[in-house]
Structure 1
């Protein structure tokens, strides 16, 4: 199972996709693995995989491995929640912005370097599902 196989998942039937996702969940790959990145790359595939994960959680209910299956499924859901980051090509970043000066003394124009630092961007945190909690009144 690799990122190239994920490309074919869009054409699979529900049962075939279920078998593939079940193998992926059992593999317990980290969220930044190439397979999860390939799944997140396709916006149409993410909801289908979420649906299959819900079906797997429902089918695991009542089995002897229910707790283990639910942990694996929750890790798979967390891997889907991570934002897709496109690969960044190595590009030369200019250290400072050069602004030409048109009327420099002496007749020569020298570039003026703007040394302002870029505005800091707030880091985005992935959306995390909050588990439902039920409280009961004491009798």
Structure 2
């Protein structure tokens, strides 16, 4: 094996040990043994290690930055959706407009239980006292709301 060629590939061409081994068709351990003969090998090895660590650190920082941006975009989209919902609710509850019973019930649907016999939504006071503007019960036709449809 040509020792000078290995030296040229490693120190001048800056090839990795694995790449040199592949070019010359030998084991990488053979290339390492040859390179250990040169006094500048340890210094070059240390330089490459620091360079590699620097690249890894830059990559990690860029990755973290990208993740933060993704989280920020997701948070902004969620916030925009909430603001849009707030605007819609504010408009529907403005003084110029009155809410229909259906709209009121839809806004507070979690406070109602379905009574199958009477086909009605009945206010459940376990969540708190019923406000005066909410009806005690509301008739719901079985074809209107799918979640209350009676199975036959």
Normalising by structure 2, we get a TM-score of: 0.26
Higher helix share: 2
| TM-score scaled by length of structure 1 | 0.28
Q: Which has the higher contact order (CA 8 A, sep 6+)?
A: 1
Give the greater-gyration-radius structure (CA): 2
